[in-house]
């Protein structure tokens, strides 16, 4: 009887979420139609724009991919700037230049965790935050940027862009996906038609059959978009109190670790640690974009109890916002990762080249 009640309650709950998904999806379709049919004009930014986004909730590797693209443009002699929405930042200014490419200009709590991480790991790239991305791009142009990379802007319909790169997590079943709140889709799958390119991330974590399954869905929903595959490849390990002393990623091999993170896809972080040869003996996860406080170390301490961990390991995003760890805890290490293109690297080079060409044709000022 109790089981039936619980089953009935769950079924009613799922039906309610599906019902709520209908008006949400209709709203997304209506908003997009306003711009696609020309009833609302898209803003033309002062710099050529590459958007890196996704169609699902949660982490797909947008920030890591953003950094890869910024570094590749720098290597070609083009100075990009990065725009972030600024999740969990505490600031009065609606848009703000938080890094001029040489240093963080504001405290981390004002910049936001992703901006602070990028400022430390992508030197030479100015960074601005704000909900109005076109205004943030103006700040980048004033700081000498020649192109703008928008982290998480696929749903920012109001602005023109040169490249719309959409990231799809290989571990996510696109075919079975439902629109929020019944599922994890930010908008209906057919909206993938806006993508100019698609990058399947975490492709090394699934079977070839699973990749083929995703490719089949993408061929229907984004037939015009070239598809690439990528993985998060570890590039080193460092103590959070000594970030300049980078150790090889092999340093974690055989080490018993506690995984601590506040990201959209914590399971992928644990998978990465296992690939590095670490023995993950436990995990302490916090909500995405969590603002750490000293008291959070007590949660970590409780999770450590009886696990005999030799190290606590965090992501780069977490490392820039952690309060100093208590001295009696195991050493706290951060894993540096890079987005590594696994297939069709020439498509990635074409994407970078398209932005480079546009950047060289346009002035770097408003």
Q: Is 113 found in the same domain as 219?
A: yes
pLDDT at 1 over 70: no
Question: Which domain, by its residues, includes 187?
Answer: 49-226+344-361
pLDDT at 123 over 70: yes
Q: What are phi and psi of 239, to 5 degrees?
A: -75, 140
Q: What are phi and psi of 43, to 5 degrees?
A: -75, 140
Q: By mean pLDDT, which of 62-76, 119-133, 162-176, 351-365 is the weakest?
A: 351-365
For residue range 18-49, list pLDDT tens digits in order: 766 778 778 888 888 899 899 999 999 999 99
Q: Is 55 found in the same domain as 137?
A: yes
Q: Is 332 found in the same domain as 296?
A: yes
What is the rounded distance in angstroms from the CA atom of residue 189 to the CA atom of residue 198?
A: 13
pLDDT (0 to 100) of residue 234: 94
pLDDT (0 to 100) of residue 90: 66
* 8 within some domain: no
CATH number, domain containing residue 291: 3.40.50
- Whether residue 164 contacts residue 197, with contact meaning beta carbons closer than 8 Å, is answered with yes
pLDDT (0 to 100) of residue 2: 42
Q: What are phi and psi of 103, to 5 degrees?
A: -160, 160
Report, as an integer, the average pLDDT of 299-315: 96
* 114 within some domain: yes
Q: Is 215 found in the same domain as 245?
A: no
pLDDT (0 to 100) of residue 362: 61
Instruction: State the DSSP code for 337.
Output: E
Q: Return the SS3 of 297.
A: helix
Q: Is 77 found in the same domain as 195?
A: yes
Q: Is 303 found in the same domain as 189?
A: no
Domain count, the chain: 2
* 13 within some domain: no
For residue range 74-84, list pLDDT tens digits in order: 999 999 999 99
Q: Is 168 found in the same domain as 69?
A: yes
Report, as an integer, the average pLDDT of 246-253: 94
Q: Is 74 found in the same domain as 192?
A: yes
CATH number, domain containing residue 194: 3.40.50.300
Instruction: Name the pLDDT band for 4 (thresholds 50, 70, 90).
Output: very low
Q: Is 266 found in the same domain as 166?
A: no
pLDDT (0 to 100) of residue 63: 93
Q: Is 154 found in the same domain as 295?
A: no
- Whether residue 292 contacts residue 237, with contact meaning beta carbons closer than 8 Å, is answered with no
* 17 within some domain: no
What is the rounded distance in angstroms from the CA atom of residue 307 to the CA atom of residue 304?
A: 5
Q: Which residue has the higher pLDDT, 60 or 150?
A: 150
pLDDT at 10 over 70: no
- Whether residue 190 contacts residue 31, with contact meaning beta carbons closer than 8 Å, is answered with no
pLDDT at 13 over 80: no
Q: Is 254 found in the same domain as 161?
A: no
- Whether residue 277 contacts residue 252, with contact meaning beta carbons closer than 8 Å, is answered with yes
pLDDT at 333 over 70: yes
pLDDT (0 to 100) of residue 54: 95
* 197 within some domain: yes
* 37 within some domain: no
- Whether residue 161 contacts residue 154, with contact meaning beta carbons closer than 8 Å, is answered with no
**Mean pLDDT over the full length of the chain:** 91
* 30 within some domain: no
For residue range 82-105, list pLDDT tens digits in order: 999 876 666 678 899 999 999 999
Question: The dihedral of CA 107, 111, 112, 115: what is its sign?
Answer: negative
For 19, the token pair is 């019902």
For residue range 223-242, list pLDDT tens digits in order: 999 999 999 999 999 999 88
* 18 within some domain: no
Q: Is 191 found in the same domain as 277?
A: no
């Amino acid at each position: 009887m109790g089981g039936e009640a619980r089953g009935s309650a769950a079924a009613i709950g799922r039906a309610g979420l599906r019902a709520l998904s209908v008006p949400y999806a209709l709203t997304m379709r209506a908003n997009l139609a306003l711009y696609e049919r020309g009833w609302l004009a898209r803003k033309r930014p002062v710099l050529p724009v590459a958007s890196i986004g996704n169609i699902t909730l949660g982490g797909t590797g947008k920030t890591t991919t953003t950094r890869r693209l910024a570094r590749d443009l720098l290597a070609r002699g083009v100075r990009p700037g990065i725009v972030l929405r600024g999740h969990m930042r505490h600031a009065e200014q609606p848009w703000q230049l938080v890094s001029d490419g040489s240093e963080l200009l504001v405290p981390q709590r004002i910049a936001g965790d992703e901006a602070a991480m990028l400022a430390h790991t992508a030197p030479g790239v100015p960074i601005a935050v704000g909900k109005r991305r076109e205004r943030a791009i103006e700040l980048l142009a004033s700081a000498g940027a020649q192109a703008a990379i928008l982290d998480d802007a696929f749903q920012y319909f109001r602005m023109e862009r040169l490249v719309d790169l959409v990231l799809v997590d290989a571990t996510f079943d696109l075919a079975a996906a439902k629109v929020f709140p019944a599922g994890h889709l930010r908008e209906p799958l057919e909206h993938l038609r806006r993508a100019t390119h698609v990058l399947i991330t975490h492709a090394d974590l699934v079977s070839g059959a699973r990749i083929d399954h995703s490719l089949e869905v993408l061929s229907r929903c984004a037939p015009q978009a070239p598809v690439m595959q990528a993985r998060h490849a570890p590039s080193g390990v460092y103590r959070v109190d000594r970030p300049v002393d980078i150790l090889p990623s092999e340093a974690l091999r055989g080490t018993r670790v506690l995984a601590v993170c506040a990201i959209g896809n914590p399971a992928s972080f644990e998978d990465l640690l296992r690939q590095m040869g670490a023995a993950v003996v436990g995990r302490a996860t916090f909500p995405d974009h969590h603002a750490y406080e000293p008291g959070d170390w007590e949660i970590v301490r409780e999770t450590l109890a009886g696990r005999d961990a030799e190290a606590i390991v965090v992501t780069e995003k977490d490392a820039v916002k952690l309060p100093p760890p208590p001295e009696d805890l195991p050493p706290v290490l951060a894993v540096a990762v890079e987005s590594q293109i696994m297939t069709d690297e020439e498509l990635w080079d074409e994407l970078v080249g398209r932005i480079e060409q546009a950047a060289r044709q346009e002035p770097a000022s408003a």
